[in-house]
Amino acid sequence: MGELMETPLAARANASSALLEEILRLKRERNAVILAHYYQTPGIQELADVIGDSLALAQAADRSNADVILFCGVHFMGETAKILNPDRIVLVPDLEAGCSLADGVTASAFAAFLDQHPDHLVVSYINCSAAVKAMSDIICTSSNAVRVVNSLPTDRAVIFAPDKHLGAYVQRITGRRMLLWDGSCEVHAAISRDKLKSLMGKHTQAKLIAHPECPEEILTEADHIGSTASLLEFVTRDPGSTFIVATEAGILHNMRKAVPHKTLIPAPAFAENTCACSECPYMKLNTLEKVRDALKDMKPEVSLPEMVRLGAERALRQMLALG
Ligand code: 13P
Ligand code: SF4
C-alpha cells in the first residue's frame, strides 16, 4: 500500500493531470464531496473522498455537510443520498446508470404485490427506487440484511424485495419465513458455476469469497460471504494467499492496494465474448470526464417528489437507527 500511496494521482487514476486538477478545482469551488462505490473505475475511486459499500456510502451521505454530493455509483445510490439530504444538491455523473435489481421492481407492481399480502412486514434491499423504499417498513443493505431481518418481531411474516438471492441467503441464516420478490443482479447471476469449479480445480489452495447477490449454487462453495466491504476486510485479515473473488471486478482495485502480495482472481462470468471477469455495465457508465462535467454544469441532479422522499426516509432511517 505504501508504494502505491507514493505514486502520483494521475498515474494511479490512469488519467491526465489536467483533467484531475480541473475536477479537484471544481470540487473545491462547489464545496462538493465525492462518494464512490467499490464498483467504480479505478480512476474515480482514486479521486473520491469516500469509497465504500452501499451502507458506508449511505452513512457518509447522511453525515455530509458539503453543499454538493457527487455520488459516483448508480441511480438508486444518488436517490438514497437525496432522500437523506433534501436541502443539498445531489449529482450523479450519469443518470442512465440503473441497476437490474432496482429496475426489476416497479412501484405499481410492488404495490399490487403488497396488497396481496397485507399482513407481512416489508424489507427492501437498498437497490430499489425511492418509491419502493417508501412502501417498505425498513431498508437493508447486503452488509446488514441479516441484522435487519433479525430485528423484526418473530411472529410476523416478511416480504423481502427485490433480490431473491440475497433474500434466500438471509432466509437460510435467520430461519425466517420470507416471501421473496423475483429479482436478481444481472452481474452476480452471470457468474458461471462450471467455470468457477474448473478455476477452483486449478487453484486448490484458493479461498472463494462471494457477494450474497450470487445465486445459492455459488454461495454454497464459498469460504466467506459478505458485502463488498466485508470481502475486502476478509482478504486483509485472512492468512490465505490466494482468493477467487465472486463479485463485480471493481472491488479488485482496492483489494490489490490492500494486499499487493496476495493473488486475487476474479470469478468468471458465463459469457465467452466479454472480459473473463464480471463488470456492471451501469456502474461503468460513470467516467472521470462525466465527473468533471457534473461539477462544471451542476447536473445531472437527482430530484424526488417530497411525499415519496418522506416515505423513503422513514424506512431508511429505521435501518440507520440499527447502527
Ligand atoms: P454492497 O455495496 O452492499 O456490497 O452491494 C453491492 C452492489 O451490488 C451495489 O450495487
Ligand atoms: Fe445493480 Fe448488480 Fe450493478 Fe450492483 S452490480 S448496481 S446490483 S446490476
Domain ranges, ordered by start, for the chain: 8-98+284-303, 101-184+307-320, 191-277
**Which ligand places an atom closest to the C-alpha of 278?**
2
Distance 28 CA to ligand 2 centre (A): 30
Name the residue among 49, 43, 47 with its Cα closest to residue 61. Answer: 49
Contact 57, 35 (CB under 8 A): yes
> What is residue 272's predicted lDDT score, i.e. its pLDDT?
56
Tens of pLDDT, residues 247-287:
999 999 999 999 999 999 999 988 654 556 789 999 999 99
pTM assigned to the model: 0.95
C-beta of 163 in contact with ligand 1 (< 6 A): no
- In terms of DSSP bridges, do strands 242-246 and 50-52 run parallel, antiparallel, or are they unpaired? unpaired
* Confidence check: pLDDT of 2 > 50: no
The three cell numbers of residue 42 are 479505478
Distance 53 CA to ligand 1 centre (A): 6
Pocket test for ligand 1, best of 126, 213, 214 (most atoms within 8 A of CB): 213
Q: 55 φ, ψ to 5°? A: -70, -50
> What is residue 275's predicted lDDT score, i.e. its pLDDT?
58
- The residue-averaged pLDDT of 121-139 equals 98
* Confidence check: pLDDT of 3 > 70: no
Q: 100 φ, ψ to 5°? A: -65, -25
Class of domain 8-98+284-303: alpha beta
Closest ligand 2 atom number to CA of residue 248: 5
Tens of pLDDT, residues 89-100:
999 999 999 999
In this structure, whether the domain defined by 191-277 belongs to CATH 3.40.50.1220 is answered with no
Domains 8-98+284-303 and 191-277 share a fold: yes
C-beta of 141 in contact with ligand 1 (< 6 A): yes
Superfamily of domain 101-184+307-320: NadA-like (3.40.50.10800)
Distance 79 CA to ligand 1 centre (A): 15
**Sorting pLDDT into bands at 50, 70 and 90, what band is 14?**
confident
C-beta of 100 in contact with ligand 1 (< 6 A): no
Q: What amino acid is encoded at 318 in this protein?
A: Q
3-state secondary structure the chain: CHHHHHCCHHHHHCCCHHHHHHHHHHHHHHCEEEEEECCCCHHHHHHCCEEECHHHHHHHHHHCCCCEEEEECCHHHHHHHHHHCCCCEEECCCCCCCCHHHHCCCHHHHHHHHHHCCCCEEEEECCCCHHHHHCCCEEECCCCHHHHHHCCCCCCCEEEECEHHHHHHHHHHHCCCEEECCECCCCHHHECHHHHHHHHHHCCCCEEEECCCCCHHHHCCCCEECCHHHHHHHHHHCCCCEEEEECCCCHHHHHHHHCCCCEEEECCECCCCCCCCCCCCCHHHCCHHHHHHHHHHCCCECCCCHHHHHHHHHHHHHHHCCC
**Sorting pLDDT into bands at 50, 70 and 90, what band is 1?**
very low
Tens of pLDDT, residues 142-156:
999 999 999 999 999
